[in-house]
Amino acid sequence: MDVLILNWRGPDDPLAGGSETYLMEVAKRLSSKYRITLVCRRPKGLPKEEVVDGVRVVRVGGQYTVYLRAALEYMKRGADFVIDNINGIPFFTPLYVRKPKLAIIHHLAREIFFLELPYPLAVVGWLAENSIPFIYRKVKFGVVS
């Protein structure tokens, strides 16, 4: 079975944090039974594709373009199961993935968008996060707390 994991950052990303560590631990454990591909953004200096601890890591796009590029990557590769790792802005997989999926959510950014991003982008992030209950209403969630 092919499992595709979408996350904005990968395991060797200089901005990676706890959610990336958690996700790689999940991916490594799943890789003993399934073919796992993690799609994430591509920071400068990191290869487009490599295998890390049994997990194929595919890096596409940048900080903001990774979301569209990840959707295109799914359409190109396909998968039997998709894990949508929500860490701020979601990948909106219910809009284009018809296969079974799981959303993992680590935290909600809420007002942090307005502290970290310029105003127009902060509004986009806030609206995207607030759309989760509607767009993901039929998706099962794993919540890290």
Give the tens place of pLDDT for each residue, 74-98. 999 999 999 999 988 899 999 999 9
pLDDT digits (tens, 9 = 90+) for 15-29: 999 999 999 999 999
The whole-number pLDDT of residue 89 equals 87
Structure confidence by residue, pLDDT tens digits, 104-145 = 998 888 888 899 888 998 999 899 999 999 999 999 999 987
Locate tokens 């767009």: which residue?
135
pLDDT digits (tens, 9 = 90+) for 29-67: 999 999 999 999 999 999 999 999 999 999 999 988 999
Buried b (16+ CB within 10 A) or exposed e, 34-49: eebbbbbbbbeebeee
Topology of domain 2-143, CATH: Rossmann fold (3.40.50)
Domain spans, the chain: 2-143
Cβ count within 10 A of residue 108: 12
Task: Quote the tokens at residue 145.
Answer: 């707390």
SS3 of 93, please? Answer: helix
Q: What is the pLDDT of residue 107?
A: 85
What pLDDT does 111 receive?
Answer: 86
Cβ-based neighbours of 75, under 8 Å, separated by 6 or more: 96
What is residue 17's predicted lDDT score, i.e. its pLDDT?
Answer: 93
Q: What is the pLDDT of residue 117?
A: 87
